[in-house]
Amino acid sequence: MLAGGRRSSCPRDLGPFSRDSIHLGDALSLLPRVPAGCVDLLVTDPPFAIEFSAQRMNYNRTGSNVLEGYREIAGGDYAGFTLGWMREAFRVLSPRGSIYVFSGWNRLRDVLEGLDEAGFATINHIIWKYQFGVFTRKKYVTSHYHILFAVKDPENYTFHKVEHYPEDVWVINREYWKGKKKTPTKLPMDLVRKILRFSSDSGDLVLDPFLGSGTVALASRELGRHYLGFEVVEEYFRFAMARLEEASADPPGGLETARGPASGPSPDKGSVPEKKRR
């Protein structure tokens, strides 16, 4: 539980990947190619296995501004899907590494059981309370997500007590992007920043295998962490790349924004563009 110090003997060679890069492809295919023990923190918001329409008029937003392409997992396949990627997550994490997994209530049991079966020790069950739940007529409005905080070794993991009294209910508003393109499940930057400050150090490698709009990569870059991300939906991948390229106009700590379509033996060879200056 003590913070500080390096976590493993990993040489930081990421095989076919490079630090500070995101890749277009399926997490279940790309995770096995990440070397074991080289990721310090994994933060991700995987598919929830619900009947989801990306362009619903949620939160009084214009549907045409919400990017389509959201890939869902069938309910009957969700337990196996979850355990598959979580086993890989356990393998790639460093000995002192942690994982934060977002989940809705409908498949929460699969997520909890997946963490246990993969070998993780669950430390906290965090509730993220947000505004603008979807209007309902015959049931309570859902206005929270679950965040499962788990580690490889419950006796030795990174945790910085950056708040005097850190509670397990986080009230953080969704970001309201009026008139802008967005993905339907975008996480707030403040939420991801909080996770990074509690459970990582400067220079650590943060992985998001279900990258979506790229918020985990952006927050990692902003706070001086390295990032690696995978996204299966091309529209979301391009959206995340655009956000990273825009942010590269003011590079923090010299981190490089790289693009690599992760297919073939060397996904990032010849795919790192020069930084765009604006």
Q: What is the pLDDT of residues 125-137, one digit of tens each?
A: 999 998 877 788 8
Alpha carbons 251 and 144: distance in angstroms, whole number: 33
The domain made up of 21-259 has a fold known as Rossmann fold (3.40.50)
Phi, psi of 59, deg, nearest 5: 60, 30
Q: Which residue, among 268, 215, 275, 216, has the nearest Cα to 25 in the 3D structure?
A: 268
Task: Flag whether pLDDT at 266 surpasses 90.
Answer: no
Task: Flag whether pLDDT at 185 surpasses 80.
Answer: no
- Average of pLDDT values for 108-120? 96
- Classify 226 as helix, strand or coil: strand
CB atoms within 10 A of CB 192: 24
Domain definitions of the chain by residue range? 21-259
Residue partners of 55: CB distance under 8 A and separation at least 6: 63, 64, 66, 68, 184
Both tokens of 3, joined, read: 């913070």
Q: In this predicted model, what pLDDT tens digit does every residue of 205-262 receive, in sequence order?
A: 999 999 999 999 999 999 999 999 999 999 999 999 999 999 987 655 444 444 444 4
Query: What per-residue confidence (pLDDT) applies to 123?
Result: 98
Question: What is the signed CA dihedral for 115, 117, 108, 169, rounded to 10 degrees?
Answer: -30
Q: In this predicted model, what pLDDT tens digit does every residue of 139-160 receive, in sequence order?
A: 998 889 999 999 999 999 999 9
Task: Flag whether pLDDT at 6 surpasses 70.
Answer: no
Query: What per-residue confidence (pLDDT) applies to 181?
Result: 57
Task: Flag whether pLDDT at 274 surpasses 50.
Answer: no
Residue partners of 5: CB distance under 8 A and separation at least 6: none
Phi, psi of 254, deg, nearest 5: 80, 15
Beta bridge partner(s), residue 41: 98, 206
Give how far Cα 40 sits from Cα of 14, 46, 164, 207, 258, Å: 13, 19, 24, 8, 19
Query: What per-residue confidence (pLDDT) applies to 249?
Result: 74
Q: In this predicted model, what pLDDT tens digit does every residue of 7-26 receive, in sequence order?
A: 455 656 798 999 999 999 99
Q: In this predicted model, what pLDDT tens digit does every residue of 38-87 receive, in sequence order?
A: 999 999 999 865 444 443 333 333 334 434 444 557 667 889 999 999 99
**Burial tier of 270 (Cβ tally within 10 Å: 0-12, 13-18, 19+):** exposed
Q: How does residue 278 score in pLDDT terms, banded at 50, 70 and 90? A: very low
